[in-house]
Structure 1
Amino acid sequence: MVNFKEINFEGKDMLTVYLNGREVLSTIRIENLKNPDDDKNLIFNLGISIVNIKKTDVKSLYIKIKDPFHFIFESINFMSNIKSEDLPSSLSILKPFSVLTSGCQSWSKGFEYLLTENQTNIRLRKDLLRFIKSDYEPKIVKKGKFVSSFFMHFIERFPSEKAITVISTNHIYPTTFIYDKKENSLYIDLGLRKEQIDDGFIINWIYFCFENSSSELQENLKFLFSDHLKRNLSMLEKFEIFDKSTEHIYGWESWYNYYTNVNEKVVIENLEKLSSFFNKKTVFQIDDGWEKVVGQWEQDIEKFPTPLEKLSDTISKSLSVPGIWIAPLALLKDSKIYHEKKEWILRNYYGKPVVCGNVPLWGGDFYTFDLSIQDVRDFIVEQIDLLIEKYRFSYIKLDFLYCGLLDGIFKNAGHGSAYYYNLFMEELVKKVNDRAILLGCGAFLQLSFPYFQVMRIGADTKEKWEYSLAKIAGYEGRPSAYMSLTDTIARSILNKTVFFSDPDVCFFRKSKTKLNDDEKFLINIVNYIAGSQIMISDDLDDIDMNLKEKVFAFYEFLNLKNFYIRRCFKKDLYFLYDDKKQIFGFINLSNRKYTFKKADFKLIFFDHEISKLFVYHYDFEKKIYQSEVENICIKPHQIIFWQKDFG
């Protein structure tokens, strides 16, 4: 057990702990995880012990930190034993200009807001809100507040890269950070609702990271999650799907072309052509549509007449890793299990099944299981194990996992949904026992890093830029190229630091798409620099070979370069640069054109004049080449790379 001692430093009085709305006594411990004499990569663990309480059922438990940036400054001062006036300038109090936020799960919105802005709100039907909001966070974000799950990242104004990241390493209970800019207070909700705590309860999973550059941010995250990242990398290498020369996974999946109309014929046709597309070992994943009905994981023999185990063997013989999709916690009323095991269905206070969401391609509303029941967890784990052991698939995409975090009346009461979900995941991983790669999707980001080798980090993409009706409705989890890219950019800091990120598919097809060439190129390149997996869903006899040649040339040009992406002053306009500050770029997800003159760069991005600008172009003779320009013009839905002061 950690030994907590009362400490005295100026920041101590800025922190208060509230249990069920009432202030409770606590002692504080601050532990420095890096060299305190080094002003780089400062990480400290905030340890709190709650004292003088009886055993209590938790309705809410949160920490309030007044003036969090001053608190962190005083913590650094306390740890380093250096007087405030003698601290290096790089350790001055942060003056945040923007805040990077993340929703709770894969499809929830990730976005960098300027502090002068307000976080957007979503007002949807409850069944649609389920896709992007959890029962562990506020459904409505009040004006003047920013809400983020798992982490919150505060950044200074350009050209400074100074930042502070607050992050939780607890993989059982979801942590929510709320920054109130009017109060200048940070609230940390610890996600322990429906649990019990007693005197001496310890909170030791909140970390503050102080960074002077984007590379330090990535180093800090790697440091905190290194054990899990190394293990996941070893698994990817075991199945030989992580291409070491590019540090990416490559493959094909059926969803974004065939959706639930996938069948054996199109699978075989594309399998035969995949090896020559990437010229690497790939993943070949059969997505939703192979099963009779969601919740009844039996092969639909009308669409897939060949037994699944023979189909997976065929995939393996083609030098691909056989993959398959399953939504293990979701079920429809049409499934046998729904009618045969009614006592297994999670129900609300009125005894009605909890609605998890609505998927038109499935026929409407769907439901979930009561994970507090051991037989339920055993049954679900067995369904997944069949895909591995009997049907010989070794890449399993587990989708709609947020269903396991929904609130309801549990048969075995005593805990909240997060506790039972974690039991399920622990039992699943133990059963899988490294026999397959697990990809998490529609899953809580914070609760996923110990379990999934690959993690989806954004909303579903789409073969068109925007889903207009869902946009008008304000649905931030809508399937669209725009929304997927927005999330992928926001969560790029997690790629190869916390997860091997799946940004969703790229597009090379000529038909069955409303994306133009700039948009397809943009998706391909952002996914490459911000993710770890490059998947396609295209018919492999419908490939735009000119686009493929251009994209692959840029893959080679950008290979193993580590990029950091920050938002510009305008919404949907991003500035990116590699960690060596040699290659820069702009990403424009907006519908308007932007032009930057050389003089603008000192005003906005740098602390020095730009003498020359060189933009990267591509043609089929020169491949990638540079040309000197006076201005940089970036069109809507475009990415552009450039250098400064070159030559």
Structure 2
Amino acid sequence: MNSKRFERNVRSAPLAGVPSAMLEYRAREGSPVPEPGMTLLDELGPADLVRLLAGPGSTRPADDGGTPGEAPFDLSRAFILGNGWQSWSPGWELAPGERMERARFVRNLNIFTDHPGLVPRRGEVLASFLGYLRIGDDYLALASLPQGGPPVSFLFRRRNGTISVLAYAEGHRFEAGDPAARILVVRARGWFALKDALREAYAPYDQFSRLSFLGTPGEPLVPGGYESWYNHYSDIDEGLILTDLRNLAGNGNLIDRLYIRPGKPTVFQVDDGWERTVGDWRVNEARFPRGMKDLAGRIEEAGFIPGIWLAPFLVTRFAPLFRERPEWLLRNEDGTPTVAGWIPAWGKDFYCLDLSIPEVLEYLEGIFDRVVNDWGYRYLKLDFLYAGMLRGRRRNGGAAFVHYRNALKRLTSVRRRRDGTPVAYLGCGAPFEASFEFLPLMRIGADTREDWDWGQARFLRHPGRPSAWISMKDTIGRALWDGTVFLNDPDVVFCRNRRMRLSEAEKELVALTARLFASQVMFSDDTADFEPAVEGAFTERIAELYGRISGREFRPERVPGLRDVFTTRSRDGRAAAVLNLSDLPAEVPGSWPPDKAVLARFRSVGGRVIFPPHTVSLYDGLEGA
């Protein structure tokens, strides 16, 4: 059922040799009132989509959308990619009967993950920007191709077999003829075939060339370096950061081996803790008495790219802006400030700026100009960006997506410092589609953690909680995007033993998941504490394994009948791995020759191969596909 308000035009668009079609939606008439939370553009079934792929006038039967003998795309029994709308929203395949969690008791935790316009009900799966159905190795995918309009989500209803195409356009007024969405439909046999089609579809955006300075010519683009967060958290000061800076090169740590010794560009990023408080982006002079400009200079003198953390749209109640510029805050309909999330260390509830206000944008541009051109930072991690897309009463009206895109376009328009050196931006906690054209380097999952999971947050069922386990599930679930839509940032890897609750096998699993399915390698280990005799062997092993998988593309596949157990195989079929993220031993079908194992965490029991929980086993030199 096509929405009567929007006209759908269909054209064939074969990509990478697989059937594809482009659905273009335009408003038939102007919006009589501002759009509601979610605007329905279309409602289709899988068979409708397959008919559209076959072209105008197709008489292909509508029962399954396939050729004789093929399994139907039955929503009630298909695997569906549940793809949350921003970095921390869960993003992985769901089998029938599975659903994403939502936080209990502390409901404001759901602000970190819920789509502002829609929370799916039981039997529904929401996929934003990209979603697919999978039966075996047969994929039916929908992907939004941004053109400046509202971000799109796909609501899969298992019970009635329909897919709603929805736009988050609240507050927007379409004019007659305005484009509303451009949706790519792809049917592909195999994960690599789908990824190739998506790569071709998104290639015209030329997203990655602006990041080339973070890589080495002639090699795959894999930025890397150090960041302070996952060891020191916000408890940092000038002395501690300079100690890590002095010890990053020369002692054989992972970043030294992978980036510094080979002469590759290396990021050194200062995370949260340098500022006076979140929302007050002046330097905390008690912690950094020589200031952030001096620190950036020292980072450059050491041969690294200076990086810094910002959460530009946030305001806590401790920030002067909260008291001095209350009119700059996004408001609810009752006039109270819109809550943007809940963190106890920030006074629990915190708030966000109203991006419709010109003075707010001028204020933010001033901060970015100071950080880039005065202080000298060239790698800006922009965090908690979802706050710019929350629902609320904006002083100047209009839709959240319009003001968010305008703000991000202005703030990331500085591609070079005044001295000509290039600048990169990492999106984190960022709405995927609305950020796509501005932030090609993107965190694609929850924060990791130096522990398998976070017990308190797990009890609360917080789905976007900092957790090594959750972060890896997101990295695997969004592997399809890496190198096609974004350069995927999987968060940091760990080699250290101190302040660490992950086992050696779990650290291997974190490290290999990050490199198999994503394209940035960062760590936060205390470089001054690195002891070659203690951590050297582990670090050397990870570096050697990275060398084996570098330059190869891997597709993950969920093992049928097992939850959180995956296999992966390289495109040429010669390398493979088994990743057991579950809490139980797993017997995985397939041939797993022990003599081809380059990382062996399995056990052979009576002719069976058992993969222990929280482990990865890697194989190389297999017979090709």
Choose 494-503 or 83-92, whichever is displaced more.
83-92
**Which residue is 2:21 aligned to?**
44
- Cα displacement (A) at 1:203: 3.4
Q: Residue 29 of structure 1: which of 3, 6, 9 is its match? A: 9
- Match of 1:328, SS state, is coil
1: CA distance between counterparts of 2:592 and 2:276?
64
Deviations 1:477-505 (A, max 9, x none): 11111111111111111111111111100
**Which residue is 2:111 aligned to?**
130
Q: Residue 562 of structure 1: which of 553, 562, 566 is its match? A: 553
Counterpart amino acid of residue 425 in structure 2: L
2: CA distance between counterparts of 1:646 and 1:195?
55
Deviations 1:311-345 (A, max 9, x none): 11111121110000011001122212222212111
* CA distance 1:208–1:83, change in 2 (3 Å): closer
Counterpart amino acid of residue 39 in structure 2: L
**Which residue is 1:587 aligned to?**
579
2: CA distance between counterparts of 1:299 and 1:54?
46
Query: 1:428 and 2:373 equivalent?
Result: no
2: CA distance between counterparts of 1:175 and 1:108?
15
- Match of 2:619, SS state, is strand
1: CA distance between counterparts of 2:605 and 2:584?
24
Deviations 1:587-644 (A, max 9, x none): 1111111123xxx43xxxxxxxx5966541359xxxx9xx999433211111112369
- Match of 2:433, SS state, is coil
Query: 1:323 and 2:307 equivalent?
Result: yes
Query: 1:182 and 2:159 equivalent?
Result: yes
1: CA distance between counterparts of 2:133 and 2:408?
32
Matches within 5 A, 1:460-499: 460-499=447-486
Deviations 1:461-520 (A, max 9, x none): 111111011111110111111111111111111111111111100001111110100011
**Which residue is 2:366 aligned to?**
382
Assess if the C-alpha contact under 8 Å between 2:66 and 2:72 holds in 1.
no
1: CA distance between counterparts of 2:88 and 2:98?
22
- Match of 1:29, SS state, is strand
Query: 1:509 and 2:496 equivalent?
Result: yes
Q: Residue 166 of structure 1: which of 142, 152, 169 is its match? A: 142
Alignment RMSD (CA, Å): 2.9
**Which residue is 2:298 aligned to?**
314
1: CA distance between counterparts of 2:287 and 2:177?
58
**Which residue is 1:8 aligned to?**
none
Matches within 5 A, 1:242-321: 244-276=218-250, 277-278=256-257, 279=261, 280-321=264-305
Query: 1:150 and 2:141 equivalent?
Result: no
Q: Residue 539 of structure 2: which of 548, 553, 564 is its match? A: 548
Assess if the C-alpha contact under 8 Å between 1:241 and 1:321 holds in 2.
no
Q: Residue 345 of structure 1: which of 329, 349, 352 is its match? A: 329
2: CA distance between counterparts of 1:44 and 1:91?
20
Counterpart amino acid of residue 582 in structure 2: S
Assess if the C-alpha contact under 8 Å between 1:164 and 1:210 holds in 2.
yes
TM-score by length of 1: 0.86
* CA distance 1:366–1:630, change in 2 (3 Å): same
Assess if the C-alpha contact under 8 Å between 2:25 and 2:179 holds in 1.
yes
* CA distance 1:392–1:628, change in 2 (3 Å): farther
Choose 114-123 or 516-525, whichever is displaced more.
114-123
- Match of 1:474, SS state, is coil
**Which residue is 2:523 aligned to?**
536
Assess if the C-alpha contact under 8 Å between 2:574 and 2:622 holds in 1.
no
- Cα displacement (A) at 1:382: 1.5
Choose 510-519 or 352-361, whichever is displaced more.
352-361
- Match of 1:632, SS state, is strand
* CA distance 1:392–1:409, change in 2 (3 Å): same
Deviations 1:92-129 (A, max 9, x none): 85456311111111111112111343444444534211
- Match of 2:317, SS state, is coil
- Match of 2:40, SS state, is strand
* CA distance 1:76–1:364, change in 2 (3 Å): closer
- Cα displacement (A) at 1:383: 0.7
Q: Residue 210 of structure 2: which of 235, 245, 250 is its match? A: 235
**Which residue is 2:35 aligned to?**
58
**Which residue is 2:253 aligned to?**
none
- Cα displacement (A) at 1:49: 3.8
Choose 100-109 or 239-248, whichever is displaced more.
239-248
2: CA distance between counterparts of 1:411 and 1:358?
24
Choose 353-362 or 145-154, whichever is displaced more.
353-362
Unpaired segments ≥5 residues, structure 1: 1-14, 18-23, 602-609
1: CA distance between counterparts of 2:285 and 2:93?
47
Assess if the C-alpha contact under 8 Å between 1:32 and 1:45 holds in 2.
yes
- Cα displacement (A) at 1:32: 1.6
**Which residue is 1:196 aligned to?**
173
2: CA distance between counterparts of 1:88 and 1:292?
63
* CA distance 1:241–1:185, change in 2 (3 Å): same
1: CA distance between counterparts of 2:270 and 2:235?
11
1: CA distance between counterparts of 2:226 and 2:94?
34
* CA distance 1:150–1:365, change in 2 (3 Å): same
Counterpart amino acid of residue 108 in structure 1: S
* CA distance 1:118–1:371, change in 2 (3 Å): closer
- Cα displacement (A) at 1:401: 0.6
* CA distance 1:454–1:533, change in 2 (3 Å): same
1: CA distance between counterparts of 2:58 and 2:412?
44
**Which residue is 1:16 aligned to?**
2
Choose 291-300 or 582-591, whichever is displaced more.
582-591
Assess if the C-alpha contact under 8 Å between 2:243 and 2:528 holds in 1.
no
Q: Residue 108 of structure 1: which of 89, 99, 113 is its match? A: 89
Counterpart amino acid of residue 224 in structure 2: Y
Choose 349-358 or 56-65, whichever is displaced more.
56-65
TM-score by length of 2: 0.89
Counterpart amino acid of residue 595 in structure 1: E
2: CA distance between counterparts of 1:485 and 1:244?
29
Aligned residues: 599
**Which residue is 1:21 aligned to?**
none
- Match of 1:248, SS state, is coil
Choose 586-595 or 87-96, whichever is displaced more.
87-96
Assess if the C-alpha contact under 8 Å between 2:191 and 2:555 holds in 1.
yes
- Match of 1:281, SS state, is coil
**Which residue is 1:636 aligned to?**
613
